[in-house]
Structure 1
Amino acid sequence: MGDAARDRDSEGRARNARPRDGLGRPLGHGEPGVERQPEGVVRSPGETLAEAQRLLAAGMPFHAHEVFEDAWKSGPAAERELWQGLAQLAVGLTHAARGNTRGGARLLLRGAERIAGFGERYAAGGPPGLPYGIDGPGLAAWAGELAVRVGREGAGPVDARAEAPRLVRVVA
């Protein structure tokens, strides 16, 4: 099999066109999969949060991670850490749902730390809390609790849909 048969993008980088399941795991060629997130989509922060929340609620945290990845690549450099932290939470949930509970727990905690660090710097320059209504304390509590549960010896995979966090504060 020569280079002509390899799946490459226009710049010659390898691409994996195999279908994927809702947790981003590759399936066999020709198997039905979940539609992939388009790459490089520029969204407003509100659109990013709404799309990621929709995907998390559907049990598709891997796909939510890709939405956050677009935000950190296309958004202001000053917010990169926030979007990366949210992406790490989504990837942590992905790993926990795939059964990689130790890796999932580490990523959940790392994402919560990154968001908290961003929040401290953000609050130093303005109002307390995170921008766009993001529920920093709620996400930190969710990530910490889930990390403890999945980090326990013998913990099995979690249900990504049932464990999906709420990204934005609910205003009563």
Structure 2
Amino acid sequence: MCFGLFTDVDAAKVLTQTPADHTVSKGQQVVLGCNIQRDENYYVYWYKQLPGGTPQYVLRFHHSLSSAEFGEGFSSDKFNSKATSDIEYQFIIKQAETGDTAVYHCNTWDNSTMEEHIERNSSWDLSVPPSSTVSNSPQVTVHGGCLSFPHRQN
């Protein structure tokens, strides 16, 4: 679970990511879950952050929509998102490969604090090692974490 510094911890939205740690074989589908705690009718945004880089907008999704809206350079050929409820969202990487090594973030807006639309976000560190002569099935490891960064409102 991600925790931040809030003036009113009981009221602030805290996004929860699952799994905290996860390993899959190269070529398999990766599913990252994000619980937004309560539905305030905002999009859930997903970002990809390459090592040493800034977050890149991959897609946004809302449980009332039938499909995600993608950022430049990203498409449904590789990524998808769906909601299993109005607060449970999933980010899907269809076939994990070395180029997917990055930190992935979900975030949404929080209306419950005194400040305007404070963001709370969750992140996953996804590592897809290159193929080696020792292993025919390189592993993808996902580690949970937290990071704050600016993004635009829906």
Structure with bigger RCO (C-alpha 8 Å, 6+ apart): 2
Select the structure that is richer in strand: 2
TM-score over 0.5 for the pair: no
Select the structure that is richer in helix: 1
TM score, norm. by length of structure 1: 0.27
TM score, norm. by length of structure 2: 0.29
